[in-house]
Amino acid sequence: MGLGVLGQDAAEVLARIGFDVAGWGATKKSLRGIACFAG
C-alpha cells in the first residue's frame, strides 16, 4: 500500500481494526502498527 495522504489514512484504519499492514513511501515514516518501507 502506498503511504501518501490517502494511503496513510487507509493503512491506519486497517491496522486499527486488526489487519497486518505494510506500506511504502518515498520518504521514511514511522506509523504505529504498520511496517513502513521507503526508497
Least Cα distance to 21 among 39, 3, 4, 38 occurs for 3
Q: What is the pLDDT of residue 8?
A: 96
Q: What is the pLDDT of residue 12?
A: 96
Where does the pLDDT of residue 2 fall: very low under 50, low under 70, confident under 90, or very high at 90 and above?
A: very high
pLDDT tens-digit readout, 3-37: 999 999 999 999 999 999 999 999 999 999 999 99
What's this model's pTM, rounded to 2 decimal places?
Answer: 0.83
pLDDT at 38 over 90: yes
pLDDT at 1 over 90: no
Q: How many CB atoms lie within 10 A of CB 4?
A: 13
